[in-house]
Amino acid sequence: MNDIKILLIALALSADTFAVSVASGANIKQSYLANALKMGIIFAAFQGLMPIIGWLAGNGMEKFVSGFAHWIAFLLLIIIGGK
């Protein structure tokens, strides 16, 4: 993966986390530093681990689905587009 792709993935993940953090922060009545740190650590852990888990799962499944992966992608796009 080249540097541009990594940068774009990092930007997308950080924008997602930022949006959820702003929405959660607007909902909280009392602001505490401990709550903000806990939320930041949890988001950072999940946003950092999920791409790694996906990469490991993708590498593990590659030999099983490589023959019909294009059909899986097509079906997923049809389902998403249908919604």
Q: How far is CA 19 from the centre of its chain?
A: 13
Q: What is the pLDDT of residues 7-35, one digit of tens each?
A: 888 888 788 778 887 887 777 777 777 87
Look at residue 79 and tell me whether its pLDDT is greater than 80: yes
Q: Which helix (H) or strand (E) holds 44?
A: helix 33-65
- The pLDDT of residue 33: 79
Say what angle helices 33-65 and 3-27 make with each other, to 10 degrees: 140
CA dihedral sign, ordered 70, 76, 80, 83? positive
Q: What is the pLDDT of residues 48-78, one digit of tens each?
A: 888 889 889 888 888 888 888 889 999 999 9
Q: Say how many C-beta atoms besides its own lie within 10 A of residue 41's C-beta.
A: 10
Q: What is the domain extent for residue 20? A: 3-82
- The pLDDT of residue 37: 83
Look at residue 41 and tell me whether its pLDDT is greater than 90: no
Number of domains in the chain: 1
